[in-house]
Chains A and B, each alone.
Chain A
Amino acid sequence: MTTFNGKPRKRNLDIKVTVRKAHGDCYVVDLSGEIDVYTSPKVKEAIGELIDRGVYHLVINLEKVRYIDSTGLGVLIGGLKRVREHGGSVNLVCTNPQIKKIFDITGLVKIFGMFENEDVAMNALV
C-alpha cells in the first residue's frame, strides 16, 4: 500500500470489476473504467480468483472500458493462457473503436474471441 506522510493512502482506482454467474459454468466479468498499470492488478485478481475456483469459461465485458494499455492486455492474455490449460476459453465483448484498434494492431484479435454483445459472446464460448 502506498503511504503519505507515513499514513496509508486511500486507493482511488478508476476501475470497477463485477463478476456474475451466467448459465452453466460460465461467468461474466464486467469491467468499467480504465485498465492501466495502476488498476490492472485488481482485474488480474478478480480473474485469477475465478480461475482458482475452477471457472474456465469466461466472458469479459469491455463495453464500459474507456482505456486499456499493455498491462491490461497482459492480464487478459494471462487469464486466457490459464483457462486454456484447462480446456476453457475467454471471449471479449468490445464495442469501443479505440480499444478494438489496440487488439487489432497487437494481433490479439486473432487470439481472443471478440464480439459486439454479450449474448453472442456467451453463445460462442467453447
Chain B
Amino acid sequence: MNPAVERAVPELVELRVPCRPEWVALARLAAATVANRLSFSLEDIEDVKLAVAEACTAVIQHSGHGEFIDLTCEALSDALRVRVHDSGRHGSPADGGPAMTFDEARVAGLGIFLIRTLMDEVSYDVHPQLGTDLLMIKRLAPGS
C-alpha cells in the first residue's frame, strides 16, 4: 500500500460481542492484540486486558439490558484509546446501576477502581437513549 494512504487509514478495530459473560474473554483478547501492535510492554498489555474486561463485566452485571457490547480500540501514535459502549439505558457503570446487593456493589467498585488505576484516562459519556460509553486511554511509555 502507498505509505501516504496507509498513514491515512485509521488503525481502528471494532468488535461487537453478545452482552454475556462467556464473551468477555474475546473482548479482552482483542484489546490486548491491538495493544500488542502498539508495542506496549507486557505489563501494560495485561493492564489493558483487565481494564477492558472490567468494563465489559460492569456492563453485563450492573448496567442496562442491551443485547451487545461494542468495543472500539483505536491505535494512536502514542496511545491506545478504547471505547466500551453499552446500549442499555440505565445508569453509568460508575454508579453501579440499579438493584445491587452490598457485596455486588463492593465488587463493582473494585472493578471501577481497577479501571481507573490501570488506565491513564477514564471518562463516561452517558446518553439517556443511546446508552453509555466508557472511554479509556492507555499511553505508551516514553521511548516505547
Contact = CB atoms under 8 A, between A and B. Distances in A.
Contacts, number: 60
Contacts of B108: 70
Interface of A is mostly: helix
A63 interface: no
B50 interface: yes
B22 interface: yes
Contacts of B110: 70, 73-74, 106
B63 to A, nearest CB: 13
Interface stretch (B6-14, B53-61, B78-86): B53-61
Interface in A23-82: 34, 36-38, 67, 69-71, 73-74, 77-78
B54 A69 contact: yes
For chain B, what secondary structure do more than half of its interface residues adopt (helix, strand, loop), or is it mixed? helix
A2 interface: yes
A37 B55 CA distance: 11
Interface residues of A, number: 20
B39 interface: no
A126 interface: no
Interface of A: 2, 11, 14, 34, 36-38, 67, 69-71, 73-74, 77-78, 98, 101-102, 105-106
Interface of B: 20-22, 24-25, 43, 46, 49-50, 53-54, 56-57, 60-61, 103, 106-108, 110-111, 113-114, 117-118
